[in-house]
Structures are given as C-alpha cells and as structure tokens.
C-alpha cells in the first residue's frame, strides 16, 4: 500500500471532470462554509483546512470566507462522530482527512462505524513520514535509537500528533518490527492532539523522538531545532539529500500519508457536487500546487468513485496491518 500511494492526476483531466458535473453544482451556493481540522492548531489536518479555506476564497469558488474549527480528540474520532451524529445533513461543512482517518475507521471510531458514514470528497496530496529528534539529542541515526528501543522498548518516548493506533503510531511500530522487536505494542508512544502539540512535546523534552509527516517538521528542521534521523521514503528526498531514509539504515519501511477531505453523508447531491468541483478547481490551481510543493507534499488526486475505492482499500490495508502488529485482534 505505502509504496504505491503517491501518483499524479493531470489538471486537464480535472478540468474535464469539472465540466461534466458542474451544471448540477451550479444549483448550490455555499453559505457560511466551515472546515473542521480534527486536531489542535498546527500539524497536517490544520494545514489542510487553512490551505483549502484560503484557496477556495482566493479563487472565488466560495463567496464567504471559510471558518476553520479545530476539534481535537481520538485521532480524528471526535470530529468524525460530531459530523455523523450531529451534522449529517450539513451542506456547508467539510472536514480534513488523512491516513489516520482510515486508521480510526479500521480500528473502530465507534461500534459499527464505516466509511459510508461520511462522504469522502477527494485526496489531493501525499507525503512521507519521518522520525525526528531534538537538535541536541544523542541520537544521530535511526539505528542508534532503535538499538536503545530493542534493549528496552519503554526507554524512548515517541510523540505523535494523533491517538494510539493512528498512522503516527503505526510508523515507528513498522520500523520497530523491521528492527526485530517481537511485540511492537510495547513501544512508548505518547499521543498529542495534533502535530503542533507533538512538536512542543519533543522540544520541551517530554519525549525523546517525534513521529509525524515531513511537512509538519519542515519549519523546525530549517530553524535548526530538530534533526530528522529517518525519512520513510523509498529514496532520499530531492530537496533534502542529507536526510537518510529508514530503508538505507536497514529498516525497509515506506510510509506515505494521504491528504484530503470528507463531508457529511446526508448532505444534498447538489452540495456534494459543488464541493467536489470546488476541490478540483483548487487542485488545478498552480498556486495551490506550489503551496503543496513548498510543504514537500506530492500531488495525489482521487475524486468520485476513484476516491471511494481508494479509501476502501486504505481501510482494508490498515485493518490487516493493525492486526499484524497487534493493535486490534
């Protein structure tokens, strides 16, 4: 799954898709639109909502500025339950989504939860995960840290911006599995309500390491506050050739996290088409693509039926992986 995640969709294809469905979407007009970021400010979900809000307004796709609401808890589960239980028919609501959304559905946000409880709109980007430490950390390589974890799995606290069982948790567990640790559930994972809080936990000394996505770490890497000791990519990143991959350090793990949006399943068909077309217009914009590129997020576009099938595969893959590493029975 992770090796095949990142691919591209041409803007021409997006434009054709907009033309096909645009007539129905014209019957709907967004009023007081809102984007829920299922975490506290900072981190990937917050980035999704704030970037989407900016470009949809700047491109005149929406007339009213979009409110961004941070709703942390349960690795996205609190926001998911809020949407499905309280706002299922809201035509003006969209929600940031990622691989952790797939993970929470796979592992049971609440009894009986499925992907059909919401309407997945699109993915528009993907990025590789990374493991970071403070700049003054004794760990210079991922191997050094994994050696300590092998000796005592509880000796290294690893922060993550989502709940136990989330993709931030799964990434170091996969590395630990490749390192030969029998029970990777013994790792000391410390969950925070968002990537921003997880970074604060690392910098404050509350944890020794951080598991997250590269874009969440970029500013702190450039300021010299942290050092990335392993990128979960098949090869070194073109713009950051000094960062070693986990693979070249002996841990054959590639972890890519998709970025996208969902909305209430009970919204009107016109609203669903409007928001689908809105995201396609945003994705086709060069400025939006430059913003993703600057954040080290690669294009990864899925819409409509392709999006539905992608999420279904993602949930299935995470379910199998979660069973394999002992997160669920």
Parallel, antiparallel or unpaired: strands 298-303 and 226-231 = unpaired
Average pLDDT along the chain, 329 residues, taken 10 residues at a time: 49 47 68 96 92 98 97 92 97 96 89 94 95 98 97 96 89 94 94 92 98 93 98 91 96 92 98 97 97 90 95 91 85
In a domain, 283, yes or no: yes
Return the pLDDT at 22. 52
Domain assignment of residue 17, given as a range: 2-127+258-324
Domain boundary among 217, 249, 281: 249
Whether 171 is in a domain gets the answer: yes
Q: Domain check: are 155 and 69 in the same one?
A: no
Task: Mark whether 45 and 134 lie in a shared domain.
Answer: no
pLDDT of residue 327: 85
> How high is the pLDDT of residue 5?
57
SS3 (DSSP) at 25: helix
Same-domain pairing of 26 and 42: yes
CATH of the domain at 233: 3.40.190.10
Does residue 290 lie within any of the structural domains? Answer: yes
| Residues 181 and 285 occupy one common structural domain | no
pLDDT of amino acid 23: 47
75 within domain boundaries: yes
Residue 148 belongs to a domain:
yes
Domain count, the chain: 2
* Residue 16 confidence (pLDDT): 44
The verdict on 161 and 193 lying in the same domain is yes
Q: Are residues 182 and 278 in the same domain?
A: no
> Are residues 272 and 240 located together in one domain of the fold?
no
In a domain, 298, yes or no: yes
Same domain? 80 vs 157? no
Would 219 be classed as within a structural domain? yes
Query: Can you tell me whether residue 249 is helix, strand or coil?
Result: helix
DSSP letters, 179-224, are TT-S-GGGSEEEE-SSHHHHHHHHHTTS-SEEEEEHHHHHHHHHTT
* Per-residue pLDDT, 112: 87
Give domain status of residue 329, yes or no. Answer: no
6 & 69 share domain: yes
CB 125 within 8 A of CB 132: no
| Number of neighbours of residue 29 by Cβ within 10 angstroms | 14
33 and 175, same domain (yes or no): no
Structure tokens at 269: 């068909």
Whether 137 and 237 share a structural domain: yes
Q: Which two tokens stand for residue 144?
A: 């050094």
Return the CATH number at 117.
3.40.190.150
User: Which burial class, exposed, middle or buried, applies to 255 when counting CB atoms under 10 A from its CB (0-12, 13-18, 19+)?
Assistant: buried
Domain termination site, one of 221, 249, 277: 249
Indicate the residue among 249, 275, 299 that finishes a domain: 249
Q: Does one domain contain both 192 and 209?
A: yes
């Amino acid at each position: 799954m992770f090796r095949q995640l990142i691919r591209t969709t041409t803007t021409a294809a997006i434009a054709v898709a907009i033309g096909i469905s645009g007539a129905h979407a014209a019957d709907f007009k967004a009023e007081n639109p809102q984007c829920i970021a299922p975490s506290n400010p900072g981190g990937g979900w917050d980035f999704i909502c704030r970037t989407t809000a900016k470009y949809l307004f700047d491109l005149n796709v929406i007339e009213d500025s979009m409110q961004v609401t941070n709703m942390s808890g349960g690795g996205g589960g609190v926001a998911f339950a809020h949407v499905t239980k309280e706002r299922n028919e809201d035509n003006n609501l969209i929600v940031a989504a990622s691989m952790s959304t797939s993970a929470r559905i796979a592992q049971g946000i609440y009894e009986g939860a499925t992907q059909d409880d919401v309407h997945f709109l699109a993915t528009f980007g993907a990025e590789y995960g990374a493991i970071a430490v403070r700049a003054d950390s004794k760990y210079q390589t991922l191997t050094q840290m994994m050696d300590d974890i092998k000796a005592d799995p509880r000796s290294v606290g690893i922060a993550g911006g989502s709940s136990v069982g989330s993709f931030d948790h799964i990434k170091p567990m996969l590395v630990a599995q490749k390192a030969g640790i029998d029970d990777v559930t013994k790792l000391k994972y410390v969950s925070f309500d968002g990537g921003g809080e997880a970074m604060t936990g690392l910098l404050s000394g509350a944890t020794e390491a951080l598991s997250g996505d590269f874009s969440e770490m970029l500013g702190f890497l450039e300021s010299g506050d942290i050092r990335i000791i392993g990128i979960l990519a098949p090869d070194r990143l073109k713009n950051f050739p000094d960062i070693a991959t986990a693979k070249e350090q002996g841990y054959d793990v590639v972890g890519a996290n998709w970025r996208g949006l969902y909305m209430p399943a009970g919204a009107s068909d016109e609203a669903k088409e409007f928001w689908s077309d809105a995201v396609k217009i945003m994705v086709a914009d060069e400025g939006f693509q430059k913003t993703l590129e600057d954040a080290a997020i690669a294009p990864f576009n899925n819409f409509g039926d392709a999006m539905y099938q992608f999420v279904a595969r993602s949930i299935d893959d995470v379910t199998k992986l979660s069973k394999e590493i002992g997160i669920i029975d």
